[in-house]
Structure 1
Amino acid sequence: MRRGFTLLEVLVAMAILGLAVVMLIQLASHSLRLVKASGDHQEAVRLADRLAREVASPSEGVETGREGVYAWERRVTLVSLPPELKPPTGKASRLFRLSVAIRWSANGGLDLTTLLAAPPAPAGVRR
Structure 2
Amino acid sequence: MTRSRGFTLLEVMLAFVILAVSMGMLLGMLSRGLGQVRTSQDETEAALHAQSLLDQIGVIEPVQPGERVGEFGNGRYRYRLETTEIEDPSPAPALPPTVVDAGSAINPPKVYRIALAVSWGPPEAARQLRFTTLRVRSASLEGAPQ
Q: Same fold (TM over 0.5)?
A: yes
Superposition misfits of 4+ residues, deviation over 4 angstroms: 86-90, 121-124
Larger radius of gyration: 2
Residue of 113, 120, 124 corresponding to 2:132? 113
How many residue pairs get aligned? The number is 123
Distance in 1 between residues matched to 2:133 and 2:142, nearest whole Å: 27
CA RMSD across the alignment: 2.2
**Cα 1:46–1:87, aligned 2, differ >3 Å: closer, same or farther?**
farther
Secondary structure of 1:25's counterpart equals helix
**Cα 1:108–1:87, aligned 2, differ >3 Å: closer, same or farther?**
farther
Partner of 1:66: 71
Give 1:123 deviation, angstroms: 8.4
Residue of 91, 97, 109 corresponding to 1:93? 109
The answer on whether the counterparts of 1:51 and 1:74 sit within 8 Å (CA) in structure 2 is no
In structure 2, runs of 5+ residues without a counterpart are: 98-103
Distance in 1 between residues matched to 2:67 and 2:43, nearest whole Å: 23
AA matched with 2:44: Q
**Cα 1:35–1:122, aligned 2, differ >3 Å: closer, same or farther?**
closer
Give 1:112 deviation, angstroms: 0.3
Residue of 11, 14, 24 corresponding to 2:13? 11
- Aligned-pair identity (%): 31
Give 1:36 deviation, angstroms: 1.0
**Cα 1:77–1:123, aligned 2, differ >3 Å: closer, same or farther?**
closer
Partner of 2:56: 54
Q: Deviations over 1:11-58 (max 9, x none)?
A: 111100000111111111111111111111111001100110111231
